[in-house]
Every structure is written in C-alpha cells, then in structure tokens.
Structure 1
Amino acid sequence: MSIIKKNAPGSSELLMGNEAIARGALEAGVQFAAAYPGNPSSEIIGSLAQVAEELGIYVEWSVNEKVALEAAAAASFAGLRALSAMKQNGVNVASDFILNLNLSGVGSGGLVLVSADDPAAHSSTNEEDSRFIAKLGDLPLLEPANFQEAKDMTKWAFELSEAINSLVVIRSVSRISHARGNVILGELPPERKKAKYDTSKIFIPVAAHLRHLSLHLKLAKVREMYENSPFNWFVGPEKPELLLIASGSGW
C-alpha cells in the first residue's frame, strides 16, 4: 500500500521529500496533477499516479512542462485544486505561460507549481535557481527546509493560491526531494468537488499594466500572510547578539 494515501492523522511516516509533497497535495484536496518527467521531480507525479484511481484524482504525464502547467491551469479555471511539477529546466519551457498566468490569475481552485532544482547537477545538464522565476513573475514562493515542511507548505500553498487568486511556486531541491525523513500526517479530505467552468470569468491578461499593479498589491497581502504563517520559527537565546536568517535547504 502506498504510504501517501494512509488516512492516519497524527501518525509519523518515513517519506521521501517528493512523497511528502504529494501527500501535502492530497491533504489539500488536489484533484488534478500534471507533469513532465525529470529528476529530481519525477516521484511527485509517480506517487500521485499510484493512488489516483482509488482517490478519484486525475494524473498525467504531459508532452512537455508548458502543456503540463496549462492543463493544470485549466483544471483550476474549472474550480479544481491542481498541481504541476517539473525540474528546473522545465521552468524555462513553461516560462512563457507562467508570465501570462501571473497576470490572468487562477480559477477558484488553487494552483501550485513545484519546481525541483538540482544544485551540483547530480541528474541534470545544468544548474539553475528557479526562485528567480518567482521574482520575475511577481509570484509568491515557498521553500521547504525539511520533509515536514515539504508536506505542510504544499498543503498551505493551495490555500494561499485561492486567497490571492495567483499561482504559487514551491521550490524544492534534490537534497529535499530525494532524501527521506519522518513526516507527521494530517487528514485526507473526504469529499471531492466537481469541475465547473465559470463562463462569467475571463482568464486573458487584458490591460496588462493594470494587472501588473494588481500583482504588486497581491504581494503586499502575501507579505502579511507570510509574516503570520506557521513556517517562521526561531532557534537560539532569547536575546541574541547576532541573528542569522535562512530559508529552505540552506537552513
């Protein structure tokens, strides 16, 4: 039995980072997932595919990363929570659509893009820091530092996406995606939504200059949500002489 479908809230399970991301998506109620294979991201969709039929979700390997994100966006437009996963090279392939989707916004279903980077190019032909696509597109980004955060941040990313009507990026790295650690499971949602396309909404980034301004206003809201998120924590004395701030695997 696949561990990621285990409905045992509070239990501790040994999960690969990519399995933790997949579990977080399941706990968020994801109903559509699409990706193009490439290490270190492949196990995210592979894990979801193993439980797709039983849990009633749609999972596909797309012909490329751009198509994967477009398909996931269509599911979001139809009100379903959707996820797209790729490695850092794939972000380049999908970048044309990303830089239109940031302006159009997403549907009533949250939309999450997982980019799994490969520092030191263990299974890649290049090195690339995909965090810059979030900066380029004025998109919120989450960067898990451990396996528990990989699950919890993925779940929270869907809530954030719906709260601000925007694509949310999760940046993993090979040391998170392909390592293993203990993860405390949460609940799996009992119900699934039905897709319904709202024809009253227009998902075309018309009046781009005005939508760009709206993006900046969204980021102001994101900043407030980040400052009050459960992912900020401090380790050290009560009154330190020196404070080091870190995020992601660099922690």
Structure 2
Amino acid sequence: MTKPQAEPKDSVWEMTKKAAPMSLLLPLLGTGISYAAYADDLAVSGWPWKIGLLVTLFCLFVPFAVSMMYRRTNLLWVCGLVLSTGIFAVYFFFGVFAYFYYFVFAPMSPVLRWPGLLGGIALTLYWIVMSRQTVKHTITTTSFVKEAFDENASDFRYRTQAGMALFERLNKERSPFPKIYSYIAFGIAPFYLILGRLLSSSFGANGVLFALAVLGMPVSLWFVGLLVRIYLVMVRLPRKLEQEHRKPVLVAD
C-alpha cells in the first residue's frame, strides 16, 4: 500500500494563526485601559476606547477575511499583508494608545500638549522615511533579492525566516544611516516626557498613562520600522516581481 501524499502547507492560514494573537490582545488591552482611564477615571472622552474597539475589530477580522479569500495560494504578498496587520496592531498599542492618546486626551497644559503631540508626529514620520530609505537601499544595492528569492520556471520561492535573516545581515552591514540617528530618535521622546513631568505640578491619576507614554514612543518607532520593512519586503517587492516576470511569488514550505 502506498502512503497518501501529504497536503502542501497552507502558508496563508499559518500566518493568520500567528498574527491573530497580536491582532487581538494588545488593541483590546488598549481599549480596556482607554475606557478605564479616559472615560471613567479622568472622564475626558469616550473616543479613545471607541477608536480602540474599531481598530481591534479591524485588525482581528481583516486577516481572517484575507485568509479566506487567498487560502492555499501560498502567495507571499498575502502573508505579508496578514503579518503587517498584526504588526500594526502592536504599533497601535504603543504608538497611538500609549503615546498619542496621552497628548490628545489627557489633562495637561497646552505648553506640554502641542510640542509633545507635534514632536511625536514629526519623529514618527521621520522614522518612517528613514526606515523606507534604509530598506530600499538594502533591496536595490545588495544581493538580497537574488539570494532570497529562488526563481523557478513557473514561480519564485521565498523562505520567510531565512529571507529575513539574510535581510538583517545585509541591512546591518550596508545601512547608510549612522547609529547616532537611532540613538537620537529613541532618546528624544523619553527625555522630553520626563522633563515635562518633572516641571509639572501634578502626578495624579494620569501617572500610569504618563509611564506608558514614556515607554510607548521608542517602542512604537521600532515597530514602525518593522512594519515598513515587512510591507516593502513581503508585500511590495513580491508584487513588483510578479508584474515584471509574470509569475507568482510563493512562500516555500
């Protein structure tokens, strides 16, 4: 008797299962804390928890909807889209809920609110642009594409873990940005927040929110960079290869 042939791995569904906890837990936690802090304790607005609930539902159902549409296709850009949703959910907790909610909704002087809010926006945009340029530099000037994507007669194959490890190695060796930029970006926000709190006269009910804001900005910058990298490497680049070579880019088993 011959053994039945094993079905090929469904990479899209596997990625959806991995991304589901990220897509649910942290946005839901941010929603609960937002309700307790901004709507109940501080009684300033109900918008934070309502926005958090919408983001939670979006990050939870979009990956499953995409998975149902493209299940068993093993398309790399679909896996990248699902993973990007999970990473965005983590960024929402540290960046939007922890940092920007604090400066938009928490009671504080305008002297502290507007520099913190506008500075956070500027720093995040700067980090997005810098991360994009760094990733594009690695893609266009190194051997990453040639080594990470195996071309066959009918398709390209990409091994996720090996590909990202290769990217880390090439990106670390060829990054055009000095490390001092990273130290500045990750240091400005905590220093400004701690200085602002020391100059403030009250450290009451929003003390926990302040602590989350101090932690949130530098962590959110890291996840913004990761989100940019995943989108460019696992979504945009495969779509570009598909258009240029008229063959799909699949996740290798």
Q: Which has the higher helix share?
A: 2
Compute the TM-score of the two structures, normalised by the length of structure 2. Answer: 0.24
- Structure number with greater Rg is 2
Compute the TM-score of the two structures, normalised by the length of structure 1. Answer: 0.24
